[in-house]
Amino acid sequence: MNAPFKSLAAGTKDPFIGFVCDDLTLDVVRSVCDEMGWSQEKAFKGGLRNAVQSLSVSASPQILLVDLSESGDPINDINSLAEVCEPGTVVIAVGQVNDVRLYRDLLLSGLQDYLLKPLSPDAMRDAIAQAQNILHAPKHDENSGDRPHISAAVIGTRGGVGASTIATSLAWIFSDRIGRPTGFLDLDVHFGTGALAMDLEPGRGLTDAIDNPSRIDGLFIERAMIKANDKLSILSAEAAMSNPIMSDGTAFFQLQEEFRAAFETTIIDLPRNMLIAYPHLMQDVNVIVVVTELTLAGARDAIRILAWMKSNAPQCKPLIVVNKMQANAVEIARKDFETTIERKIDILIPFDSKATAQAAKLGQPVVAAVRASKVSVAIATLADIVTGSAEEADLVNIGKGGKEKAKGSVFGGLKAMLAKKPAPAQ
């Protein structure tokens, strides 16, 4: 089995290698390889154990497909694979056991996807496309000693598009995975879910700040904010519905100033009506994440928000995020949506009701509760895009050259991330 890998030992990294147990799956894999322009000879007969044996003496590919059908202990075997698989490899598994717990455990072990047999060409193509997106996504240079402040506002074009879910997940990624001290400001004063999503009581910090802007200083920030993890602090509220906001916006501006001094990253969950009432909120924001769905109303309001940003906050880089994406259940095709708003969509986040339900049950952001889900991977990619866009926008103000991001490991990266914190108990 080792002979085909002689060229890899010389330093060339193949785009794909597959190890499968049966002829039917082998035919499907080789057919898709042919479509992708890859050599069919890179799909071998043999399961996960053969992969471990071969990769222990040879270089790993960019994408690795392994068959678990003949494995008596898939989780243990996957851990053995992780020991010989080089950083930078995205691993996809196929198998015949349809078990939710096994699927979850495999993803938590660092796999990108688990496909059921009989393997269909469409499932194979989708898994490869997702793997390629991950391989091409920019990764953070965590060794950078000079990190300018990132300020990102997340706004939904319509209610229910999931802007708050994305905002809390971004705040968690920046703090927990990337390690930046992060302040999360939930400006939905009456109905905000930032604290709720992390199983926390919001406290009175935000309402006190609105009522007494003169009190806002570093000490106030330290005392009023609640800690979600070692590097994430939240300021939010659940104000009574009988208590309207009576503010000229001074408090919000001062809060942003103090956040900039106290944290490396500010994430703002921004209700869309706040743009109308307090346009100065966007003066110091680097990036605005516009969350939408592929609907007529979503397209209309994306156009309006983009036009408002161009006139009122030209320094702010907009990103268009389509959330809850279901390929066969869209009102407007992606191409038509992009034509309508006159710009490209930056990222698509798939619909995954199970992952979001699990996150709600555990009282954690989805990227913490189900870290290896496709939703979490997509939001992690969005965090990379936000960082790059913020740094690009910051060039105007600080005159520094950008830094090229290295493309890193997903299989190795997820393993390292999971090693930091245990998976949540069921």
- Domain assignment present for 364: yes
- Domain assignment present for 423: no
Q: Are residues 132 and 157 in the same domain?
A: no
pLDDT band at 202 (very low <50, low <70, confident <90, very high): confident
Q: Are residues 284 and 192 in the same domain?
A: yes
Contact (CB, 8 A) for 302 and 292: yes
Q: Are residues 130 and 198 in the same domain?
A: no
Q: Are residues 398 and 296 in the same domain?
A: yes
pLDDT band at 411 (very low <50, low <70, confident <90, very high): very low
Q: Are residues 230 and 314 in the same domain?
A: yes
Task: Please report, for the domain that includes residue 265, its CATH number.
Answer: 3.40.50.300
Residues 6+ apart with CB under 8 A from 122: none
- Domain assignment present for 411: no
- Domain assignment present for 141: no
The per-residue pLDDT for 355 is: 87
**HSE (side-chain half, CA atoms, 13 Å) at 132:** 9
The per-residue pLDDT for 277 is: 86
User: pLDDT for 335-347, tens place per residue?
Assistant: 999 999 999 999 9
Per-residue CA distances from 315 to 152, 310, 311, 338, 394 (Å): 12, 8, 10, 22, 9
- Domain assignment present for 387: yes
- Domain assignment present for 156: yes
Alpha helices in 177-217 (DSSP H): 205-211
- Domain assignment present for 422: no
User: pLDDT for 274-316, tens place per residue?
Assistant: 888 888 888 889 999 999 999 999 999 999 999 999 999 998 9
Average pLDDT for residues 44-59, to the nearest whole number? 86
Q: Are residues 91 and 31 in the same domain?
A: yes
Residue of 15 and 79 predicted with greater confidence: 15
The per-residue pLDDT for 10 is: 36
The per-residue pLDDT for 323 is: 93
Domain span including residue 391:
150-406
- Residue 67 CA to residue 59 CA, distance in Å, equals 19
- Domain assignment present for 70: yes
- Of 105, 136, 167, which closes a domain? 136
Sign of the alpha-carbon dihedral angle for 270, 276, 278, 279 = positive
Considering 193-197, 251-255, 299-303, 381-385, the range whose residues carry the highest mean pLDDT is 299-303
**Domain total in the chain:** 2
> Considering only CA atoms, which of 115, 52, 60 is closest in space to residue 81?
52
Q: For residue 279, what is the DSSP state?
A: G
Q: Residue 192's Cα: distance from chain center in Å? A: 21
Task: Please report, for the domain that includes residue 84, its CATH number.
Answer: 3.40.50.2300
Q: Are residues 300 and 182 in the same domain?
A: yes
Q: Are residues 275 and 212 in the same domain?
A: yes
The per-residue pLDDT for 217 is: 84
